[in-house]
Amino acid sequence: MPHRLLSLAPFFLFFVFLTTATVTQAKVFITIEEVGDNVVVTAVGSALFTDLALSSQSDLDPNLFHQDDSGVVSGAIIVGNSALDASEYRIPAVPANFYIAGDLFPSLAADSATGGAVGLQVGGSEAILFLPPDYGGAFDEPNPINSSATFNNQTIASLSLRPGTYTWEWGNANPDSLTLFIVDPSAETSELNVTYEQVGNDVVATATGSADITELTLLDPTLYTLASSANGMFWRGSIANGRLFESVTGPCVGDCTQYGIPPTANRPRSANFFTPGDSSSGGGGAGVTESDRATSTGRGAQLILPSGYSSGDPISASSTFSDESLLVNLQAVPGEYIWKWGGSNPGRLTITIVDPNADDDGDGTPNGNDTFPDNPTEDTDSDNDGIGDNGDAGGTGIGLSVVDASLGCQINSVASSAPDTTNAPGPVAPLQLAFTIEGCGSPVEVIAQFGDPLPDGSVAYKVSAGGVWSEIPGAVLSGNSVRYTVTDGGPLDSDGIANGTIVDPVATAVPLPDDDGDGTPNDSDAFPDDPTEDTDSDNDGIGDNGDAGGTRVGLSVVGASPGCQINSVASSAPDTTNAPGPAGPLQLAFTIEGCGSPVEVIAQFGDPLPDGSVAYKVSAGGVWSEIPGAVVSGNSVRYTVTDGGPLDSDGVANGTIVDPVATAVPSATNPTTPGAPARPVPALGGFGLLLLGGLIAGLGLLIRRKR
């Protein structure tokens, strides 16, 4: 007949008589934790029940509940496969407030379950421990407790659970205990990591991280002994001696303590061998020992830590097993093995056995023999400078590596040489690296290393075959290295073709000050504030780009910004057919590009211009149009022109301005506008002329009479 469950005080499992024994040797652990969107309950370990009386047997389904039954608040949890028989053992109720008082709910069936029926019901004055009917107890090593139940779409809060650690003890002659961990989903888990890996002919174990032992019990060293050595060890024992697995990294002779933790179902060793380490380092050993049998060496799993360890103390230890094979001598089984404990202060120990035959980067060299197991372009480093042999350019710390290289990427060649410094923007580092990579995708990030640290202020450049230094955009310099991105067929790829192969030379220099950003340092720039000019070959004050020949004949751009350039300037005699007056001897025709719009220019005509000179645009048809706002001073004309405006001969706003400019002194009798009619002389009408004639005649007669 199914047993009537009294309630759900969220969970669980085995409970016990408080005992006069000071140490419990058998251990059962129940852990309740959120895993993704679900709550998972696991029961592991083994139980001594020789001091308990069998009450009855029941058919149970995996479930939990927390309810008020006629004033008696009770709770229960059952894990394991559904509809299984379970043996009941009556134990005194031990109050344990592991649920939120008042949050009652009826039986909640698990959505899935594994293992034999295991559980606990507690309420009122009694508690019931449920175990599989065929369970043989702590000495039944082949049949340890290993059951679970999953409650989908639930949380610790929705199940009214109170995170923490709860322990029940029972038995006198054969004491045992149950520890319940309700894991706080918001708590940070302490991480202790142990890694075993093949390094050449040796096996090296390292332990790092820390452990939180706030909720663990320190075990009696007279009952829980260690089979460790001064330099650590790796052991898979036999069933006869009860210790099924033990791993210690670092020194641990009289300097280690043990804490009870839940065992794991899998163990990282397949055979019965004891392998001591040959050397070790660190402030004390760290690891785990585990057995499924109650013996003089204890039972369950024990976390091994240095003596006097406090929660959160950093652990850093190592052991070396010289001339040993991880798979053959240590009989290790590659994989990841995890032990977890704690409720409010959860902790985790992870032992990782690195498979020496694995090839993570797929380059054909197993990890154990690959100096660069995550880089398919490299597997050896003969000079131990951190740069693989394929990317090594000779010398310590000189060469190339590909960042996050994918399978198929390869470094074909890397060579170092002295760069061509002819056009260098400043003091140059002694080396240039030229490399070829293939099959690395595009764009691809590379790191070029130059041996010695680069000087402060260094900048990375691509140096062309013609000696042109072009700054590499986005390059990051740090220490002796340059990290940047190059695109197949892009401006940094010397072959200029998107063909799967990237060829690139890279060098560094500390650029000298270049205020106008034209690539010519100030001390070599005749015009350090003008990006359109850097030389003045005839020393006439007009840069070579704007020079139209002759002394002080040419064009300059006022306030030019980087990118502005003078494409051409030419001087010639203007067409004076329709000139508004005596014209200057020269006309300047210029083309500028990338200078913005509007832009102010200064045209210089050599000799000083005559007084009264005016600036004109002369069209291809010989039409002279006065330039509005132009200022004539000395030998120059300063004015503003707009891209695509009336002074731009191409008439299109295309970033290029084409303009011819000339000067003339307009004549007072000539029109200033070409093609205008001659100005007529003012005259009187016919009547006015007759009147004027009469007046003149009368005046003549009057003069004669006076004579």
Q: What is the pLDDT of residues 94-111, one digit of tens each?
A: 655 666 656 666 678 899
Structure token digits, residue 389? 């042999």
Burial 636-653 (b: 16+ CB within 10 A, else e): bbbbbbebeeebbeeeee
Q: What is the pLDDT of residues 387-414, one digit of tens each?
A: 999 999 988 999 999 999 999 999 999 9
DSSP, residue by residue, 451-516: SSPPPTT-EEEEE-TT--EEE-TT-EEETTEEEEEE-TTSTT-TT-S-SSEEEEEEEEE-PPP-TT
Decide if 318 contacts 277 (C-beta within 8 A): no
Residue 505 lies in a domain: yes
**Whether residue 174 is found in the same domain as residue 200:** no
User: pTM for the complete prediction?
Assistant: 0.59
Residue 496 lies in a domain: yes
**Whether residue 51 is found in the same domain as residue 70:** yes
Q: What is the pLDDT of residues 688-698, one digit of tens each?
A: 545 555 556 55
In degrees, rounded to 5, the angle at the alpha carbon of residue 78 between the alpha carbons of residues 74 and 22 is: 75
Q: What is the pLDDT of residues 347-366, one digit of tens each?
A: 999 999 999 899 999 999 98
Domain count, the chain: 4
**Whether residue 499 is found in the same domain as residue 578:** no
**Whether residue 159 is found in the same domain as residue 50:** yes
Residue 393 lies in a domain: yes
**Whether residue 427 is found in the same domain as residue 318:** no
CA distance 466 to 685: 83
In degrees, rounded to 5, the angle at the alpha carbon of residue 420 between the alpha carbons of residues 416 and 424 is: 120
Which residue in the block uniquely carries the two structure tokens 């007009």?
Answer: 542
CA distance 327 to 262: 27
Q: Is the peptide bond before 680 cis (omega within 30 degrees of 0)?
A: no
| CA atoms in the 13 A half-sphere facing the CB of 60 | 35
Strand partners of residue 73? 68
CA distance 95 to 53: 21
Asked if the model's pLDDT at residue 683 lies above 80, the reply is no
**Strands 190-199, 347-353: parallel, antiparallel or unpaired by DSSP?**
parallel
What stretch of H or E contains 703? helix 686-706
Query: What is the widest separation between alpha-carbon atoms in the chain?
Result: 175
Three-state DSSP class for residue 688: helix
Residue 537 lies in a domain: no
**Whether residue 222 is found in the same domain as residue 239:** yes
Residue 5 lies in a domain: no
**Whether residue 252 is found in the same domain as residue 347:** yes
**Whether residue 162 is found in the same domain as residue 269:** no
Residue 427 lies in a domain: yes
Asked if the model's pLDDT at residue 638 lies above 60, the reply is yes
What is the percent of the chain where pLDDT is above 70? 79
335 or 119: whose pLDDT is higher?
A: 335
Q: What is the pLDDT of residues 203-249, one digit of tens each?
A: 999 999 999 999 998 887 766 566 556 677 776 544 444 446 778 88
Asked if the model's pLDDT at residue 81 lies above 80, the reply is no
**Whether residue 319 is found in the same domain as residue 390:** no
Structure token digits, residue 412? 């074909």
Last residue of a domain, one of 484, 509, 534: 509
pLDDT of residue 682: 44
**Whether residue 220 is found in the same domain as residue 310:** yes
pLDDT of residue 242: 42
**Whether residue 348 is found in the same domain as residue 199:** yes
CA distance 370 to 197: 12
pLDDT of residue 693: 58
Asked if the model's pLDDT at residue 169 lies above 70, the reply is yes
CA distance 549 to 566: 15
Last residue of a domain, one of 301, 325, 353: 353
Residue 458 lies in a domain: yes
**Strands 105-109, 63-69: parallel, antiparallel or unpaired by DSSP?**
antiparallel
Mapped to the 3 state alphabet, what secondary structure does 10-53 carry? CCCCCCCCCCCCCCCCEEEEEEEEEECCEEEEEEEEECCCCCCC
Q: What is the pLDDT of residues 469-490, one digit of tens each?
A: 999 999 999 999 999 999 999 9
**Whether residue 473 is found in the same domain as residue 565:** no
Q: What is the pLDDT of residues 284-329, one digit of tens each?
A: 788 888 765 444 344 578 899 988 899 999 999 999 999 998 888 8
Last residue of a domain, one of 322, 353, 384: 353
Decide if 648 contacts 661 (C-beta within 8 A): no
| CA atoms in the 13 A half-sphere facing the CB of 568 | 9
145 or 484: whose pLDDT is higher?
A: 484
Residue 670 lies in a domain: no
> 10 Å Cβ neighbour count for 597?
14
Strand partners of residue 280? 319
Query: What is the overall mean pLDDT for the chain?
Result: 82
Q: Domain range holding 240?
A: 190-353
Three-state DSSP class for residue 281: strand
**Residue 535 pLDDT class (50, 70, 90 cuts):** very high
71 or 585: whose pLDDT is higher?
A: 585
Which residue in the block uniquely carries the two structure tokens 């007046």?
Answer: 695
